[in-house]
């Protein structure tokens, strides 16, 4: 049965042709041993076929997390180099490989966001709404009352040496005290106004205020309400995932931007910095916020590879997916290595493809290394929207963050549909048999399996979500545990039907 899409474009037809050639060139199909008596033979073959796979995956992950790939931001030169490397490895292993480009919107920060807390002395001068003349005349009387408090605050903070700001306030340190937020898709810009401690959009606050919000009281769904009531900025207390984390998902994307509308800036603050902002709010201080985020049209590139194991029409029953992109670098050039997220999964998928090919796997297998996962699953969505083969009967297993040294349980995420849940259950059992604790969690539609499940496949993600390093500059591939990667590889080997 030929299940290749009739509407496949020329690039995808190239994949079909290449797969047919690969089928002609390969040796006769391997025969499968049958029955329970073959189990120990299968285990020893598996052990032989996968020997050293975890260490090899770790070493490929080390390369991907290295300097020359610049944090693998989708659409960047470093991201392109990472895709090229993986495609070359898959080609060298004898798989048919194609690159499929897709457009998406990328959030970029041409400069670091800035946040300055301004004592009451200068707060009036900083307020956006204040006309320039009023600003200069308002400053002297306020300075007399707020001066000593400002000096003692400065003395207390001198040990940490926060940068001084031109306006006499305290410039907080990006990624130590605060971070950008992208989710919500607001366009950023620069705003300044009085700080007001608030707990909900129903609180009373003046138009033009920068609201200081306790983390527990904040819901992203309230953004529109805060904005409609005249708030120009939000300083939100970070309860988890602190300032070191770089977010990239644009969620609503640039669609959240109101063309011609006023700027609106949201930052997440570390608890200590947030307390200083809250104290300043009580003291009638202000803040100046600058978030230079911009959304640009970019091109992502999925790497799609096929192994035609049965020599007939390409009809993969198993598709391994892993995103190879990460969140890039900060404006100062310091990269986020993305070792666990997701050099680990991409490397393991490629090493498995190599081992399957070397063992002349008797079934059709596909590998999709997705790009721009970090931006709203853009690559997986593009691949699922125009798959190079029918997805209906395929089982899609996405690998995202594997081999964390912390030995937390693995999560097996799915959308929660019956077929995906059955796949998740099987994965939990297979991982358990390899000594890995795992549990099925659903619905989790925010990982790369989701678009494939929405397109009709049974799909699940295996993930070891280690919050401590997630999207930080400490996500080093050196930390990856080859033994755990070996165990995941063995579970996937069994799922593939190889014996
Ligand atoms: Zn990520």
Ligand 1 centroid to 437 CA: how many Å? 22
* Rounded Cα gap, residues 401 and 488, in angstroms: 12
Ligand 1 centroid to 496 CA: how many Å? 26
Task: Report strand pairing: 178-180 vs 265-269.
Answer: antiparallel
191-to-29, 129, 188, 262, 269 alpha-carbon distances in Å = 67, 10, 9, 9, 17
Spatial contact of 396 and 342, defined as CB atoms under 8 Å apart? no
Strand, coil or helix: what is 104?
Answer: strand
* Rounded Cα gap, residues 316 and 326, in angstroms: 27
Ligand 1 centroid to 358 CA: how many Å? 31
The confidence score (pLDDT) of residue 167 equals 59
Ligand 1 centroid to 340 CA: how many Å? 9
Ligand 1 centroid to 463 CA: how many Å? 11
Ligand 1 centroid to 189 CA: how many Å? 25
Domain range 114-292, its CATH number among 3.30.300.30, 3.50.30.30, 3.30.1490.20, 3.40.190.10: 3.50.30.30
Residue among 402, 76, 97, 472 nearest 68 (CA): 76
**Where, residue-wise, is CATH 3.40.630.10 in the chain?**
10-106+296-495
206-211 average pLDDT score:
96
| pLDDT tens for each residue of 217-276 | 998 888 888 988 999 999 999 998 789 999 877 654 544 454 456 788 999 999 999 999
Ligand 1 centroid to 326 CA: how many Å? 6
**Where, residue-wise, is CATH 3.50.30.30 in the chain?**
114-292
Q: What percent of the chain has pLDDT over 90?
A: 64
Contacts of 196 (CB under 8 A, 6+ apart): 205, 206, 209, 210, 211, 212, 281
Ligand 1 centroid to 471 CA: how many Å? 6
The confidence score (pLDDT) of residue 220 equals 82
Ligand 1 centroid to 251 CA: how many Å? 14
Superfamily of domain 10-106+296-495: Zn peptidases (3.40.630.10)
Ligand 1 centroid to 283 CA: how many Å? 39
| pLDDT tens for each residue of 9-68 | 333 333 444 444 343 333 333 344 455 666 788 888 899 999 999 999 999 999 999 999
Residue among 446, 436, 439, 413 nearest 494 (CA): 436
| pLDDT tens for each residue of 405-418 | 987 899 999 999 99
Ligand 1 centroid to 336 CA: how many Å? 10
Ligand 1 centroid to 29 CA: how many Å? 39
Ligand 1 centroid to 325 CA: how many Å? 8
CA R_g for the chain: 26
């Amino acid at each position: 049965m030929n299940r290749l899409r009739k509407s496949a474009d020329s690039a995808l037809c190239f994949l079909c042709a290449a797969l047919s050639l690969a089928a002609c060139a390969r040796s006769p199909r391997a025969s499968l041993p049958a029955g329970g008596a073959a189990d120990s033979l299968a285990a020893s073959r598996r052990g032989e076929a996968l020997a050293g796979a975890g260490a090899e995956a770790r070493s490929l992950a080390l390369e991907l997390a290295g300097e020359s790939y610049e944090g693998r931001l989708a659409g960047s030169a470093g991201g392109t180099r990472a895709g090229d490397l993986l495609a070359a490895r898959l080609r060298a292993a004898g798989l048919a490989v194609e690159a499929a480009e897709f457009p998406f919107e990328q959030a970029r920060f041409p400069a670091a966001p800035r946040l300055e807390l301004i004592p009451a002395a200068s707060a009036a001068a900083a307020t956006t709404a204040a006309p320039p003349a009023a600003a200069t005349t308002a400053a002297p009387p306020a300075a007399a009352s707020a001066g000593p408090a400002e000096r003692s605050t400065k003395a207390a903070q001198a040990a940490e040496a926060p940068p001084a700001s031109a306006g006499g306030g305290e410039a907080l340190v990006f990624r130590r005290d605060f971070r950008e937020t992208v989710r919500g898709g607001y366009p950023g810009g620069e705003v300044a106004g009085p700080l007001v401690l608030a707990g909900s959009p129903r609180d009373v606050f003046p138009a033009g205020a920068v609201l200081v919000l306790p983390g527990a009281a904040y819901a992203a769904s309230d953004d529109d309400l805060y904005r409609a009531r005249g708030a120009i900025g939000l300083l939100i207390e970070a309860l988890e995932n602190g300032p070191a984390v770089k977010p990239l998902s644009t969620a609503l994307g640039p669609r959240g931007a109101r063309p011609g509308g006023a700027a609106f800036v949201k930052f997440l603050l570390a608890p200590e910095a947030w307390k200083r902002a809250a104290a300043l709010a009580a003291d009638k201080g202000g803040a100046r916020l600058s978030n230079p985020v911009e959304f640009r049209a970019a091109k992502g590139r999925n790497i799609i590879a096929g192994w035609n194991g049965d020599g007939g029409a390409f009809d993969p029953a198993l598709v391994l997916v892993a995103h190879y992109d990460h969140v890039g670098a900060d404006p100062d050039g310091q990269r986020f290595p993305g070792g666990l997220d997701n050099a680990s999964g991409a490397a393991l998928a490629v090493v498995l493809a190599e081992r399957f090919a070397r063992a002349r796997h008797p079934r059709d297998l596909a590998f999709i290394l997705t790009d721009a996962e970090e931006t709203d699953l853009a690559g997986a969505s593009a691949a699922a929207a125009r798959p190079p083969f029918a997805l209906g009967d395929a089982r899609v297993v996405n690998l995202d963050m594997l081999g964390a040294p912390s030995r937390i349980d693995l999560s097996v995420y799915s959308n929660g549909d019956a077929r995906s849940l059955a796949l998740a259950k099987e994965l939990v059992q297979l991982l358990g048999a390899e000594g890995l604790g795992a549990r099925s969690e659903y619905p989790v539609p925010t990982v790369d399996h989701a678009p494939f499940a929405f397109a009709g496949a049974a799909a699940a993600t295996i993930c070891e979500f280690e919050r401590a390093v997630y999207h930080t500059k400490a996500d080093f591939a050196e930390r990856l545990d080859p033994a755990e990667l070996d165990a995941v590889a063995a579970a996937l080997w069994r799922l593939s039907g190889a014996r």
